[in-house]
Amino acid sequence: MPEVIVEERSPPPAPNWHWVNGYWKWEYNRWNWHPGRWVATAVPPMPKPIIEQWGPPPSPRHYWVPGHWIWHPEMNNWFWVNGRWYS
């Protein structure tokens, strides 16, 4: 996973808005940056990464993509995406 991008925050659009940090998400067979943004609800901090155990790749062409947290606005919380093998 690439390094986290440090973002400049603009002022909140209104009082009591909260910042969701940007994060990397594995999609379309590559890492995509989802920039931080202001939301109107309280935001818990992103949890620490979960240490995953994985076995050998299913084939020599497979590569491991580690699990990672993504923000789910519908749930108003962070959601863990398990790591898995891709080819």
Number of helices followed by number of strands (H, E) in the chain: 0, 8
- State the pTM of this model: 0.76
Tens-digit pLDDT profile for residues 33-46: 999 999 999 999 99
Report yes or no on 31 lying in a domain.
yes
pLDDT in tens, 44-71: 999 999 999 989 999 999 999 999 999 9
Expressed as residue numbers, the domain containing 86 is 14-43+64-87
In a domain, 6, yes or no: no
> HEC string of 47-70?
CCCCCCCCCCCCCCCCEEECCEEE
- Compute the distance between CA of residue 65 and CA of residue 1 in angstroms, rounded to an integer: 8
The answer as to whether 80 is a domain residue is yes
> How many domains would you assign to the chain?
1
Domain assignment present for residue 51? The answer is no
Domain assignment present for 9 = no
The answer to whether residue 19 is domain-embedded is yes
Report yes or no on 79 lying in a domain.
yes
Residue 70, strand partner residues? 79
Contact 34, 72 (CB under 8 A): no
